[in-house]
Amino acid sequence: MFKINDNYLKLPGSYLFSTIGKKVAAYTAANPDKEVIKLGIGDVTLPLAPAVIKRLHSAVDEMAVKETFKGYAPDLGYEFLRNTIVENDYKARGCDIAADEIFVSDGAKSDSGNIGDIFAVDNKIAVCDPVYPVYVDTNAMAGRTGEYDPKTEKWSDVIYMPCTKENNFVPELPKEEPDIIYLCFPNNPTGTTITKDQLQVWVDYALKIGAVIIYDAAYEAYISSENVPHSIYECEGAKGCAIELRSFSKNAGFTGTRLGFTVIPKELKCGDVMLHSLWARRHGTKFNGAPYIIQAAGAAVYTEEGKKETKEQIAYYMNNAKIIREGLTGAGYEVYGGVDAPYIWLKTPDKMTSWEFFDYLLENLNIVGTPGSGFGPSGEGYFRLTAFGSLENTKKAMERIKAGKA
């Protein structure tokens, strides 16, 4: 008789955004006359930049000609894209990353979930709390998190690092030594950031205890502050302890097009074994590469036109973030984030729980956000709104919040 991976049975309920989707669908079905504004899931709303669309079209045309047709992509991704990434994302910031240390994929979500394949099951993970659910859920699926306690909403074998207003949403070094440390800055869900000096502390700590940092830099394009690093490799020694995850979803609107990459320096080793070689084997065995037309479009993001157009899109979303910050603050809410990130993190009013506030916004103001408790126990009493909606809907949502009605 076959057996299942019963670690899946330990997972509490469904994935956070699936639960939200079901609640919103039920409400809209029961109230078809209501205009619901969705500021919950971090999905972009602007179309792909013209430079990207132009390259997509030309790449599609290439697939119709025998001489330019492309089949399976190289395991690491096409060299033209990896070289472009090196020049623009790393060398331009003084980071010494080689093209063959970049693994092109279909997005940071896949990589953040799959990276655990190259680590032993008995590694101890540490996560910020609140945290992007994929980090914890995928480790739970692998059997790395122990047992889930519904009362505390914590896993027995996970080290939680609270990020609250008391510590300015910057995690403190854990008392118990972890083997794998997940960091995401600019942060999802809190929208807050970390300075280079603060990040250097984590790099030094990981090197000292022999831990590896999984650094999610999916939102680096939204950074405007001078002292906030765009890459962990801006920190001294990081190539010996860190893996970096990057995405085209938020910086270039590829949420429906799917493209990302993971950086694993060859200096990063466990004993004499390079993690680079393990991921190369995993990547080549389990993944057939992002499509040529998508990688070609990704390279267009780095052209002069592509940079200009995607920068304008980021500015559009950050203007939304400013409108949300100012609107919430004006309505008397306690607000964080939204300066170097497209997420706004607010304290729920009147001691409401996160899900109570979700229901209040949906039923009374017809606005959808994300309950903070869905990101971890320290997210209780907080709520996330995204700046990825349209300008019109963002303004309309703030008008409703100020008026206290839809």
| CA-to-CA separations, 214 to 107, 150, 267, in angstroms, rounded | 15, 27, 15
324 in Cβ contact with 398 (< 8 Å)? yes
DSSP state of 166: G
233 in Cβ contact with 95 (< 8 Å)? yes
Spatial separation of the C-alpha atoms in residues 40 and 389, rounded to whole Å: 9
What integer pLDDT is reported at residue 71 of this predicted model? 97
DSSP state of 232: G
DSSP state of 48: P
Spatial separation of the C-alpha atoms in residues 216 and 246, rounded to whole Å: 7
Domain 53-304, CATH class in plain words: alpha beta
Model confidence pLDDT, tens digit, residues 317-342 = 999 999 999 999 999 999 999 999 99
Spatial separation of the C-alpha atoms in residues 247 and 245, rounded to whole Å: 7
| CA-to-CA separations, 143 to 124, 216, 256, 382, 399, in angstroms, rounded | 11, 22, 30, 29, 46
Spatial separation of the C-alpha atoms in residues 132 and 106, rounded to whole Å: 18
What integer pLDDT is reported at residue 405 of this predicted model? 77
What integer pLDDT is reported at residue 14 of this predicted model? 74
Tokens 């939304």 correspond to: 320
What integer pLDDT is reported at residue 274 of this predicted model? 98
What integer pLDDT is reported at residue 16 of this predicted model? 83
What integer pLDDT is reported at residue 5 of this predicted model? 98
User: In which residue ranges of the chain is pLDDT below 70?
Assistant: 406
Task: Give the start-to-end residue ranges of the domains of the chain.
Answer: 6-47+307-403, 53-304
Cα Rg, the chain, nearest whole Å? 21
Which letter, b or e, does each residue of 315-328 get, where b requires 16 or more Cβ atoms within 10 Å of its Cβ? ebbbebbebbbebb
List, as one string, the DSSP characters of 71-127: -SPPTT--HHHHHHHIIIIIGGGT----GGGEEEES-HHHHHHHGGGGS-TTPPEEE
* Torsion on CA atoms 68, 69, 75, 76, rounded to nearest 10: 40
What integer pLDDT is reported at residue 23 of this predicted model? 93
The helix or strand, by DSSP H or E, that contains position 201, with its residue range, turns out to be: helix 196-209
Q: Within 10 A of 42 (CB to CB), how many other CB atoms are there?
A: 21
Helical axes 304-330 vs 391-403, angle rounded to 10°: 10
3-state DSSP helix/strand/coil % of the chain, to nearest 5 = 45, 15, 40
* Half-sphere exposure of residue 386: CA atoms within 13 angstroms, side-chain side: 22
Tokens 């076959």 correspond to: 2
The helix or strand, by DSSP H or E, that contains position 337, with its residue range, turns out to be: strand 335-337
pTM: 0.96
332 in Cβ contact with 402 (< 8 Å)? no
| CA-to-CA separations, 68 to 58, 82, 288, in angstroms, rounded | 11, 20, 19
Q: Taking the domain 6-47+307-403, which CATH number applies? A: 3.90.1150.10
What contacts 227, CB < 8 A, 6 or more positions away?
195, 196, 197
Spatial separation of the C-alpha atoms in residues 93 and 105, rounded to whole Å: 23
Q: Do 53-304 and 6-47+307-403 fall under one CATH topology?
A: no
